[in-house]
Structure 1
């Protein structure tokens, strides 16, 4: 084996045999880097088949400290949410890699794990630089159509699929409180954020004051960047890292899509969005990603350049809001 896996090889082999049959022998295990809340391995078999092994190990979750203290509607990790959202997306015709098996027994290991379809291809971000504009148009139009279908699944209350209660306040107030917490964290480590903390807070309150009540929400992914879209050889997009999906303001999703997809957002845009919500959530994303980058740095994330760049870029983006004429 090329890497040390969370599962002992004998246990892993026994597991895949039970799921796929006696003709499946694991010959290679490769860890796929980049995940922050679950560990991902690619398994290659002697018969040419490949699949993905997901591990939801709290000890390997860079944001476990935050997730432990969150209620169900703020969580974005866990096999329970993965399975629930998987079933919902498949039912609604939204592509996501097939779930072959989910093991939650915790008899041999203190974490849940699953075997999932391996989608051969690249992430959507690779196609930003594709030489054929027709290929780009085809892919991002497909993605835009798929997201439009997903977002039009409506509900009169917001929250995760397994949340049975009813919130009495607007969903954007959850992000309002989160932004204040993340700003407080970032100000401890970045002088330019600390020096402008009061102005950033004033901007946050000003943006929030312009949002009017709403009683209809769409189903969103929750953190849909081009690195969370896999593309197969037929240019079909598949959504991954779906644990955070829920009913929420779709502006939360679109404000994230807008800066993550850049020029290609034109294929994903929605002309019915609330402008004030878009600004508020855009600002929230910037503040949240400053602390997100810092926390990755502080907690030993292997790609330090990425984490540092994340905090630096969104620091500058957040500070630009202070003098933004749109506010």
Structure 2
């Protein structure tokens, strides 16, 4: 058996046996695509069972600096955030892979790791071009229903479900500061954004000034693209990469869904969304994704073409949004 894993072979076998039982003998471990935030392995057992090992190794994270500077309510990395959100989602009937065990002791290894249910299926984007329209409708309608149920859970303070709620009423101010920080990074590497920095800041502040106070926040995933939904052969959707979920403005989620699902966003449209928040968060996402793409590009993300295209595409979106908004206002 070829071995490639954060944990050595003996430790993986001991961990699986302790959590699942002595009848579960590890046959192989394969590395899966875990994105920019964690490393993911699939564990195959000799009895045919499979599960997933999540490893939150900060040294392998492409946003180490940002994580180190996160405030408590913004934390979107590590075993605790995963455990808290996993419990909340499953307790509220939102499908996400079951957590079998979480190890946070960091006694032998300097990182959190967890054993998680393996959901066999495809990412939602695989169904965008399904030749059967009924299948496409079924998948996207089920995802839409799941999102609506999740967003329908409200509380007065924003933040993680295990926190009492942040006392600041205007949670979008967190994203205003984030957009300004991301712009300061972008201007070091993109001449077009650099030339328009002051104009972009003015638009951001103007959009923010139009947002009214709110004391009602829905539960959102926080980064809900089609790659963060697994769909089983029974067309059942499961949310993954849930560490960033929290109570927040649901417009933050809807503008991201609109961006990532494109024409398929029609399955998720909802009445009563605040148009001023929608405008603000659209621009925030464009800026954030431009910066994110650049950071992946500069920090050695394996798919450099993807990182470059992400940064270029959203830089153009940022400038286009600014021009169109100023023409309309």
TM-score (norm 1): 0.97
Checking the alignment, whether the CA contact within 8 Å between 1:72 and 1:163 is kept in structure 2 is no
Aligned to 1:198: 198
Checking the alignment, whether the CA contact within 8 Å between 2:157 and 2:216 is kept in structure 1 is yes
Distance 1:34 1:195 in 2: 36
Aligned to 2:286: 286
Give the superposition deviation at 1:193: 1.0
Aligned to 1:110: 110
Distance 2:2 2:213 in 1: 54
Q: Name whichever of 163-172 and 202-211 sits farther off.
A: 163-172
Checking the alignment, whether the CA contact within 8 Å between 1:3 and 1:31 is kept in structure 2 is no
Aligned to 2:69: 69
Give the superposition deviation at 1:254: 0.2
Q: CA-to-partner distance for each residue in 1:227-277, whole Å, 9 max, x for gaps?
A: 000001110100001110110000000000001001111111111101110
Moved beyond 6 Å, runs of 4+ = none
Give the superposition deviation at 1:198: 1.2
The secondary structure found in structure 1 opposite 2:255 is helix
Q: CA-to-partner distance for each residue in 1:79-111, whole Å, 9 max, x for gaps?
A: 101000111000100000011111112121111
Distance 1:315 1:74 in 2: 25
Aligned to 1:126: 126
Give the superposition deviation at 1:69: 1.1
Aligned to 1:314: 314
Q: CA-to-partner distance for each residue in 1:27-47, whole Å, 9 max, x for gaps?
A: 221111241111111111111
The secondary structure found in structure 1 opposite 2:73 is coil
Distance 1:238 1:168 in 2: 32
Q: CA-to-partner distance for each residue in 1:268-313, whole Å, 9 max, x for gaps?
A: 1111101110110010000001110111111111111111111011
Aligned to 1:160: 160
The secondary structure found in structure 2 opposite 1:40 is strand
Gaps of 5+ in 2: none
Q: How does 1:33-182 map to 2 (within 5 A)?
A: 33-164=33-164, 166-182=166-182
The number of residues matched between the two structures is: 327
Checking the alignment, whether the CA contact within 8 Å between 1:37 and 1:64 is kept in structure 2 is no
Checking the alignment, whether the CA contact within 8 Å between 1:125 and 1:226 is kept in structure 2 is yes
Q: How does 1:259-278 map to 2 (within 5 A)?
A: 259-278=259-278
TM-score (norm 2): 0.97
